[in-house]
Amino acid sequence: MMHILVTLLLVACHSIPTTWAVTCTGCVDLDELSFQKTVERFPYSIVKFDIAYPYGEKHEAFTAFSKSAHKATKDLLIATVGVKDYGELENKALGDRYKVDDKNFPSIFLFKGNADEYVQLPSHVDVTLDNLKAFVSANTPLYIGRDGCIKEFNEVLKNYANIPDAEQLKLIEELQAKQEQLTDPEQQQNARAYLIYMRKIHEVGYDFLEEETKRLLRLKAGKVTEAKKEELLRKLNILEVFRVHKVTKTAPEKEEL
């Protein structure tokens, strides 16, 4: 009798409704029938093999990655495959095809245009938002930076705080022109933040970065809406682009009143 009760309990635990699990915003659920056809429609696909109803920090990190990736590119499919080791063993054959270790979920694969060309996220690498971004960046030409960041801006702003004033002004003019060409409203707003920080660092020096970072962190820690928190996080991410290992440029002298 006890054996039967334990069996029924295990079945009940495995039968948790999907609404109890944490949904993966922007992710496509794939199965043995749809997997290959769907993966082959995209230049790149990142697929997480996991338990049927995933939850926890790793799943939340994959969900956060999905949100960032959708903002950054249309060339990457973000998908999940729920593997069941009970009942009808849904997607177990698909997991076996890629030698997925069902004792060590999740397993994450990056496919390159077809179901037979892929790389797997090494098992020793933690499943975090930053590690997923690095995994995709290292194995594709795609750029999925921190929320709010613009690749073209980041590339030319390395060591911005240390370059001569004339070069800073020239960069401000160049990126102002690029900002005016952007059509996406969110990217336009992010570009404006870059330009504001460029002008401030040019005017008052590197100290601005430290003071503004502290100010934004205080605001973020206060009672603000989720939308405001996301906006503040984007600004903090953009500020980090200007951080340098060592400041070699002398700060502008303050005018005496």
What is the Cα–Cα distance from 111 to 94, expressed in whole angstroms?
A: 14
Task: Please list the alpha-helical segments (H only) found in 121-160.
Answer: 129-139, 151-156
- Predicted local confidence at residue 23, as pLDDT: 84
- Tell me which of 101 and 79 has the higher pLDDT: 79
pLDDT at 239 over 80: yes
DSSP annotation of 74: S
pLDDT at 2 over 80: no
Q: How far is CA 188 from the centre of its chain?
A: 20
- CATH number of the domain within which 171 lies: 1.20.1150.12
Q: For 15-19, 101-105, 193-197, which range has the lowest pLDDT when averaged over its residues?
A: 15-19
CB 51 within 8 A of CB 104: no
Q: Is 3 among the domain residues?
A: no
Residue 44 sits in the same domain as residue 133:
yes
Comparing CA positions, the residue from 192, 221, 191, 207 lying closest to residue 253 is: 207
Q: Is 163 among the domain residues?
A: yes
pLDDT at 77 over 80: yes
Mean pLDDT of the chain: 88
- What is the pLDDT confidence band of residue 206, given thresholds at 50, 70 and 90? very high
The per-residue pLDDT for range 170-196, each reduced to its tens digit, is 999 999 999 999 998 989 999 999 999
Residue 33 sits in the same domain as residue 135:
yes
CA angle 103, 108, 27 (to 5 degrees): 115
What domain range includes position 108? 28-139
Instruction: Return the axis-axis angle of helices 185-204 and 165-181, rounded to nearest 10°.
Output: 170
- Predicted local confidence at residue 238, as pLDDT: 94
What is the Cα–Cα distance from 135 to 46, expressed in whole angstroms?
A: 10
